[in-house]
Amino acid sequence: MPAKIMTMDNLELDGKKVFVRVDINTPVNPESGELLELSRIEEAAITIRDLSKSSVVVASHQGRVGRYDYISMEKHAKALEKILGRKVTFVEDVFGGAAKSAIDASEPGDVLVLDNLRFTAEENMEFSVADAQKTVLVTRLMPHVDACVLDAFPTAHRAHPSIVGFAELVPTCAGRVVAKELIKLERIFAIEKGPYVTVLGGAKVNDRIEAIDALIANERADKVLLSGLVALVFLKSKGKYRGALQVENEQKMLIKARKLLDDHTETFELPIDVAIRVDGSRKEVDVADVPLSAAVLDIGSKTIDRYSRFIKGAGTVFMSGPPGAFEYEEFGLGTEMLLKAMAHSFGTTIVSGGHLTAALHRFGIHESIDHVSTAGGALVQYLAGKRLPLMDALERSAAKWGT
């Protein structure tokens, strides 16, 4: 545990109103809207249980604007209530009158869940510390809480107001999830060895490209196996994929991807075949043969076999982001087989991100991985040696409020 931060054991929180910033951003079934997997909520419950003598104000974001997973926190509150086995009150507000009144009226032992933080414009942006402290979110909520617990390691790389805005205004410490994560990572760093194989998928292209650069510079990526949307960007940068990407700042991303490929030719492995949907079923085709109108939903069997060989021969394997849309059963093959290759690897294995955590439980191999973190992009950046805004906030709070 880093010596420069405080944990919940360093603050007297009994009887206090405590703002608990968690990350219970949960995979959502795109058809039914139901929460697919509750591991992040179960983790958050550990911290909330240990605050049983406090008035707990739970805050989290969910999904991204415009996507099917951009929903309220009402279902999360119900899931948390079931996991805790005690009443949880959902507040259909973030920092308005209803939220402030509910916090003021809460008693020790009460648990409130505020609505989706991203329903407020400020939580979709990143701020300097000084500007975060002046946001409406922080200035309106801060007078109603006595302390802040930061337990959102998956969002540790984001300088959102709820992450960086409270630290010097009220005593702020690490929650149980963050503390456990840091301890486990220190142990992993002590035993890991090369060669380092990094398996990156998912749809957060800008985050992935930024992280790849840092991982390579930090000598934590001897091989980078790409899948998902990020792989399509790299393929398109080489003229090997012609389809539409629907990526923000696509041209900029293509230029960055091509430079990485040119600078580190031997480092990258790209898909040689992919899976698309044809007449409602999975069909595998070579990358060069993907129809312009087809959506790529998974990597193909040839790519799975090739990537699995690299994974099984690694000294340390780190995987973040699913290779395909595993929410659909017919497109979960790439995710399942690469995770199983990791489970059978003799190297140190690290899996990160809420979606992959859900997949591990679905495929029954959660216990076969050395370290499973619900953090995605934050863990990538932490492994790459980058400073995380959440860690900075904890250190600033310890410097001000610590004894």
Predicted confidence (pLDDT) per residue in 339-367, tens digit = 999 999 999 999 988 788 888 888 889 88
pLDDT band at 1 (very low <50, low <70, confident <90, very high): low
Contacts of 83 (CB under 8 A, 6+ apart): 38, 41, 42, 45
Q: Cβ distance 197 to 306 under 8 Å?
A: no
Q: Tell me, what's the pLDDT at 356?
A: 87
Do 171 and 264 lie in one domain? The reply is no
Beta bridge partners of 27: none
Average pLDDT of span 131-143: 98
User: What mean pLDDT comes out for the span 94-114?
Assistant: 98
CB 24 within 8 A of CB 60: yes
- The reply to whether 204 and 337 lie within a common domain is yes
Asked whether residue 307 falls in the same domain as residue 253, the answer is yes
Looking at the fold, whether 283 and 328 belong to one and the same domain comes out as yes
Mean pLDDT, the chain, integer:
92
The structure's pTM equals 0.80
Buried b (16+ CB within 10 A) or exposed e, 286-325: ebeebeeebebbbbbeebbeebbebbeebebbbbbbbbbb
**How sure is the predictor about 186, in pLDDT bands with cuts at 50, 70 and 90?**
confident
Do 160 and 201 have their domain in common?
Answer: no
Whether residue 189 lies inside any domain: the answer is no
Domain assignment present for residue 368? The answer is no
Is there a single domain that holds both residue 142 and residue 239? no
256-267: average pLDDT:
93
Average pLDDT over residues 323-337: 92
The residue-averaged pLDDT of 185-201 equals 87
Give the pLDDT of residue 351: 92
Residues 256 and 153 in one domain: no
Q: Is pLDDT at 32 greater than 70 in this prediction?
A: yes
* Residue 326 domain flag: yes
Would you say residue 123 has pLDDT above 70? yes
Going by pLDDT thresholds of 50, 70 and 90, the confidence category of residue 50 is very high
353 lies in some domain: no
Q: Which domain holds residue 129?
A: 8-181+387-401
Q: Does 114 share its domain with 244?
A: no
In this structure, of 43-52, 68-77, 371-380, the range with the lowest mean pLDDT score is 371-380
Same domain, 165 and 310: no
Same domain, 159 and 247: no
Overall number of domains in the chain: 2
Sign of dihedral through CA atoms 92, 96, 98, 100?
positive
Alpha carbon 119 to its chain's center = 19
Q: Is the pLDDT of residue 403 over 70?
A: no
What's the average model confidence in pLDDT over 260-284? 94
Query: Is residue 381 assigned to a domain?
Result: no
In the chain, the percentage of residues whose pLDDT exceeds 90 is 71
Q: Which residues of 185-208 are buried (b: 16+ CB within 10 A; e: fewer)?
A: beebeeebeeebbbbbbbbbbbbb
Band (pLDDT 50/70/90 cuts) for residue 134 is: very high
The pLDDT of 279-290, averaged and rounded, is 93
| pLDDT of res. 213 | 84
Mean pLDDT of 143-169: 96
Identify the CATH number of the domain in which residue 396 sits: 3.40.50.1260
Per the domain annotation, does 359 fall within a domain?
Answer: no
Q: Is the pLDDT of residue 3 over 80?
A: no
> What mean pLDDT comes out for the span 372-390?
84
For residue 16, being part of any structural domain is answered with yes
For residues 228 and 68, give the distance between their C-alpha atoms in angstroms, rounded to a whole number: 18
Comparing 137 with 214, which gets the higher pLDDT?
137
